[in-house]
Amino acid sequence: MKSFAIKRLLMGAAVALATSGAFAQAVIVAPPPPPRAELLPAPRAGYVWDRGHWRWARGRYVWAPGHWQVVRVGYQWVPGHWAQRGPNWFWVQGHWA
């Protein structure tokens, strides 16, 4: 019985953190599905293609199609990706490095 109460307390704390402004990402236990095959568009001067990915919305994975990113001179685009930390999955936002 004590174990159940501790688990409920920990789950409540996790939910409180996940919904607070200080913790911007949801904690997701299910791994994302494999990426979908996308037809890559022809190269475009001044742009880099940001491939599609699965995003977490309303308790499930939803496909977000790829789109163009305007090139930032002197930087390289690092695509967003899912990272696993322990049993949980987190989305690492794409960024310029």
pLDDT tens-digit profile of 50-80? 999 999 999 999 999 999 999 999 999 999 9
Residue 48 has pLDDT above 80, yes or no: yes
Q: What is the predicted pLDDT for the residue at 19?
A: 41
- What average pLDDT is seen over the chain? 83
Quick check: helix, strand or coil at residue 63?
A: strand
Buried b (16+ CB within 10 A) or exposed e, 51-78: bebbebeeeebeeeebeeeeeeeeeebe
Q: How confident is the model at residue 20 (pLDDT cuts 50, 70, 90)?
A: very low
Per domain, the residue ranges of the chain are 2-96
Q: Can you give the pTM of this predicted structure?
A: 0.67
